């Protein structure tokens, strides 16, 4: 169950961002995960719920977007979305392809709550 490790890393990253922006709370956390991210969305959501219990994170809603598995071919310079785990280039059959999307858990954006700054009219 490595989703706990990922949820911990995610929570830590979100807390850092919240502190940098002097936020009092985080209301939304949006991540993207593809077929090769090694993430089961239900397990990640439940793990995040269990680690995000502090004052900054307990209100945060986790939204997990699915993104396609995308490879780049170094021979013909094309990008292709894969439906199956077959990594030869669908255009030129070259072996030398790189995964450029869908193999990681990406933190896309967060929504923060901030107190009114000084000087802002009430």
Partner 1 sequence: MTTQVIVVERDVLAKARTSAEEFRRERTAAGTLVVNLVSSPGAGKTSLLQATARYWQGKRKVAVLVGDLATDRDAQRLAPLVEVVQMTTGGACHLELPLVERAFQRLCEPAVDFLFVENVGNLVCPASFDLGEHLRVVLLSVTEGDDKPAKYPKMFRTSHALVISKTDLLPHVPFSVAAAAADAHDIQPQLPVLPLCAITGDGIADWCQFLEDQRHKMLVHQA
Going 55 to 58 to 61 to 66, the CA torsion angle's sign is positive
- From CA 101, how far away is CA 84, in angstroms rounded? 14
| Interface positions, 67-106, toward partner 1 (CB under 8 A) | 85-88, 95-97, 99, 103-106
Tell me the closest approach of the beta carbon of residue 10 to partner 1, in angstroms.
5
Distant-in-sequence, close-in-space partners of 56: CB < 8 Å, separation ≥ 6: 14, 15, 18, 19, 23, 24, 25, 26
- 10 or 56, CB closer to partner 1? 10
Query: Site mask, partner 1, residues 3-32, x = CB under 8 A?
Result: --xx--xx--x---x---x-xx--x---x-
* Piece in contact with partner 1 (CB under 8 A), picked from 56-64, 72-80, 110-118: 110-118
């Amino acid at each position: 169950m490595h989703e706990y490790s990922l949820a911990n890393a995610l929570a830590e990253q979100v807390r850092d961002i919240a502190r940098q922006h002097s936020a009092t709370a985080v209301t939304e956390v949006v991540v993207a995960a593809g077929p090769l991210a090694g993430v089961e969305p239900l397990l990640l959501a439940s793990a995040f719920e269990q680690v995000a219990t502090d004052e900054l994170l307990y209100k945060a809603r986790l939204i997990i977007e699915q993104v396609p598995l995308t490879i780049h071919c170094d021979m013909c310079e094309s990008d292709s979305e894969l439906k199956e785990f077959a990594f030869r280039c669908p255009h030129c059959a070259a072996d030398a392809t790189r995964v450029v999307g869908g193999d990681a858990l990406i933190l896309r954006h967060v929504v923060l709550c901030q107190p009114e700054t000084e000087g802002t009219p009430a």
